[in-house]
Structure 1
Amino acid sequence: MHAPVQPSTELGAVVGNDKLPRSQVISKVWDYIKSNNLQNPENKREIMADDKLKKVFGKDKVTMFEMNKHISAHVKS
């Protein structure tokens, strides 16, 4: 579970290209979301993707619950 994973090029634009434990990948994505003010102010569970996150999520917005599914598709063990 704590084995480092390799982010895809698209995810690497958000979290960096170094291998990281999955928990740190998620943490860095949240840091990016918060620092770029990408949470919907009316519904904090909704993430409004900027250009970098659209490449990871494949759409303009996702819920925080969907986010992990999209991130999983962008990491390799």
Structure 2
Amino acid sequence: MAPLQPSQPLADVIGSKPLPRTEIIKKIWEYIKKNGLQDQKNKRMINADDKTKGLFGKKQISMFDLAKIVNDNVQK
């Protein structure tokens, strides 16, 4: 896969280095797990913290929204 340049909100979470889409998703999940952002009652939901609030655009997202958020925040 070709490396993609992350937008500034995404770079705040994963770093500014261009990465393939698979690595971007992997790094986001590492951040989510490291910071305990997965909702305890509904594991399919991800709670935003200060860094991810700008990326997500709201307090909570579904894990299924993550692919769309990545698509909206990368450039080829």
Aligned to 1:33: 32
Aligned ranges 1:1-77 → 2 under 5 Å: 2-77=1-76
Long gaps (5+) in structure 1: none
Residue by residue over 1:23-77, the C-alpha shift from the partner in whole angstroms, topping out at 9 and shown as x without a partner, is 0000000000000000001111100011111111111100000111112111001
Amino acid at match of 1:16: G
Matches of 2:50 and 2:62 in 1, distance apart?
17
- Alpha-carbon RMSD: 0.6
Aligned pairs, number:
76
The gaps in structure 2 that reach 5 residues or longer are none
Give, in whole Å, the separation in 2 of the partners of 1:56 and 1:21: 18
Question: Percent identity between the aligned chains?
Answer: 47
Q: TM-score, normalised by structure 1?
A: 0.95
**Whose strand proportion is higher, 1 or 2?**
1
Give structure 1 regions of 4+ aligned residues with deviation exceeding 2 angstroms: none
